[in-house]
């Protein structure tokens, strides 16, 4: 599939990423484009999965989830029943826990990087001991507690010039 994004598409993406509550009319005014064009462009980018979701970013410190940790995990590639497993299988199982925000398959000495948010250091410990380490195929973990977050964002850098890219689906 060929994805083409012109300057107006990119301007829309930048605005929607900053504030997903903007209406098509508000976006049209900001980029000096007809509302029907903006609406059509947004619809097309949603259908092409360029715009994947709209959501609110919540304040974890106000919702009893202000303790963050990053956990490195190693996969043994063999389960307790001596069956084979993989990073993807273990990662998908880890991703099912609601307190897990992110799961990444990585290179290096560790196989997975997990971002966790809970209400306390004790809750992180309970998660690691009572949930994470019980996953079949997970060999060992290393937990790094977050003292302070300087930057945390979901924003991507939106290019300034048009994009034309082939995407294999």
Domains of the chain by residue range: 2-55, 60-145
User: What is the pLDDT averaged over residues 85-113?
Assistant: 96
d(CA 30, CA 52) in angstroms, rounded, equals: 22
Q: What is the value of pTM for the model shown?
A: 0.86
* CATH number for the segment(s) 60-145: 3.30.70.920
In CATH, which of 1.10.10.10, 1.25.40.10, 1.20.140.10, 2.60.40.10 is domain 2-55? 1.10.10.10
Q: What confidence tier does 95 reach under pLDDT thresholds 50, 70, 90?
A: very high
Whether pLDDT at 42 is above 70: yes
* Rounded-to-integer distance, Cα 110 and Cα 163, Å: 35
Tokens of 121: 């250091």
In 48-136, which ranges are E strands? 67-75, 100-105, 112-118
């Amino acid at each position: 599939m060929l994805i083409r994004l012109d300057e107006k598409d990119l301007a829309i993406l930048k605005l929607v990423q900053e504030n997903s509550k903007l209406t098509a009319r508000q976006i049209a005014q900001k980029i000096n484009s007809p509302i029907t064009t903006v609406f059509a462009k947004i619809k097309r980018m949603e259908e092409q999965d360029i715009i994947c979701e709209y959501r609110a970013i919540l304040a974890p410190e106000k919702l009893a989830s202000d303790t963050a940790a990053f956990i490195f995990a190693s996969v043994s590639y063999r389960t307790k029943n001596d069956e084979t497993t993989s990073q993807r299988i273990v990662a998908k199982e880890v991703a099912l826990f609601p307190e897990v925000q992110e799961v990444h398959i990585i290179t290096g000495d560790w196989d997975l990087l997990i971002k966790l948010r809970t209400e306390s250091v004790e809750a992180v410990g309970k998660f690691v001991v009572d949930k994470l380490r019980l996953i079949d195929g997970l060999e060992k973990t290393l937990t790094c507690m977050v003292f302070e977050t300087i930057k945390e964002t979901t924003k991507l850098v939106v290019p300034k010039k048009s994009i034309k890219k082939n995407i294999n689906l």
